[in-house]
Amino acid sequence: MNLFSKLYYKFRKFWKAIQLYLVIAGPGLVVMVADNDAGGITTYAATGAKYGYNLIWFLLLLIPVAYYVQEMTVRLGAVTKRGHAEAIFDGFGAFWGWFSLIDLMILDWLTLVTEFIGMTSALQIFGIPPWVTVAGVVALMGMIVLNGRYWTWEKIALLFCALNLIYIPGAFMVHPDVSAILKDGLVPNFPGGFNGELFFFLMANIGTTIAPWMLFFQQSAVVDKGMLEKDIPWGKFDTLLGATLTVVVAIFIVVVTGTVLKGVDIDSASQAAEHLLKTDHYVGTFMAIGLFDAGLLGAICISLASSWAFGEIFGWAHSLNQKIKEARWFYASYFFTLVTAGLVVLIPGAPLVLITLFVQVVAVTLLPAALVFLILLLNDKKHMGEYCNTLTENLIGGFIVVTIVVLSTLYGISVLFPQMFQ
């Protein structure tokens, strides 16, 4: 009887912890899974097709990288109750504030265009014309935000996060060689030697793991959700779970294309889906659905990141808990970025490839700045108090930030001057 009561007590304690987590869960999970956006899916599909399972070990290294960067935004948001844009304005003055805000606006808008490119090309596989996709996505995203509650928006976003797991059954359906995955994938190696092309792929994978909008989005989401200092441990756990989940999904995408399309040059995820449809109808369909979902999830988060940032600085009401009448400018900027990005994809002959490349170049102008500001703000004892970075956190965070800055800069330069990395 004593044993049963102890077990029951432990179960109750565990269940309460889960219930508490479910209340806090959201920002970390959503931002991390949304990181596997249309561009991310393309990068992972191309990585698998080019190098098979050989770079899975490298993807695993990205879990701590993503976690350590994003958990800082949780602490900053929960302690200061300010979004990242406002924190930069307040901490570093108007010059750096405007630089970050305008850069974020341009980058988010361009990234949003790439999400629409992914979504329209994914649904074109099923014969759906692009204008129907754009109209449907705008209507759907309108319905998601206009319900006037952050909670509802977050739970719908989590539902789309769950759909991102569609790559996992897809990977099992292609019957990959598990022993080859363990042998080639988990042991660090550089397939074909360390050359310019491999370096480009490694940089692209890092570039898709940490994006500037993620810092702004998660911190603003933490504030909008109303997280407090006491919620930080659960917020960190949420971020860790999200970081793990996003890399797991990435690995399963690599497994799918590494098994079926090894040796095929892949330029886009929709192209991978079309190739897969020829070999296995269901796996190809899963890839296309996953690509659409990734684009949608990315669009949901990216458009909000800009609107939150503008609301914080211009002093507009900027919460999903407010109705349209109460936060007119917040919703206006949300729909403006969404509709204009969608329309660009519909323009015949629009330079979509150039836009996709330009995103990576603009990202390297904002990412280092946002990361440096993040580290400096986390060391500001006056505002952060006991939640300031410790020496260990500074060493880990500093190392990660320097590595990301160097590699993402090289990635940006390789996009500008591709001949340098051949």
Rounded CA separation 62/16 (Å)? 31
Closest to other proteins by CB, 30 or 410: 410
Residue type, 232: I
What span, in angstroms and rounded, lies between the C-alpha atoms of 241 and 259?
27
In angstroms, give the least distance from the CB of 65 to other proteins. 20
The 8-class DSSP code of residue 347 comes to: S
> Among candidates 177, 210, 158, 174, which has minimal Cα distance to 56?
177
Between 156 and 357, CB nearer to other proteins: 357
Q: Judge whether 11 and 185 are in contact, CB under 8 Å.
A: no
Half-sphere exposure of 177 (CA within 13 A, CB side): 11
CB of 373 to other proteins, least distance (A): 9
Q: Least separation, in Å, of the C-beta of 246 and other proteins?
A: 28
Report the nearest approach of other proteins to the CB of residue 34 (Å): 26
**What is the smallest separation between the CB atom of 92 and other proteins, expressed in angstroms?**
5
At its nearest, how many Å lie between other proteins and the CB of residue 97?
6
Residues that bind other proteins (CB under 8 A): 89-94, 96-97, 313-315, 361, 364-365, 368-369, 372, 376-377, 379-383, 405, 409, 412-413, 416-417
Residues sharing a CB contact under 8 Å with residue 209, sequence separation 6 or more, in sequence order:
35, 62, 65, 66, 246
Q: Which is nearer to other proteins, 91 or 142 (CB)?
A: 91
CA dist 226 and 349 (Å) reads: 44
Residue 239 or 414 having the CB closest to other proteins: 414
Q: How far is 285 from 205, CA to CA, in rounded Å?
A: 24
Nearer to other proteins, 109 or 234 (CB): 109
Q: What is the dihedral of CA 293, 362, 332, 140, to 10 degrees?
A: -10
Q: Which is nearer to other proteins, 94 or 140 (CB)?
A: 94
User: Looking at 174-235, which runs of residues are DSSP E strands?
Assistant: none
Residue 207 tokens read as 């570039």
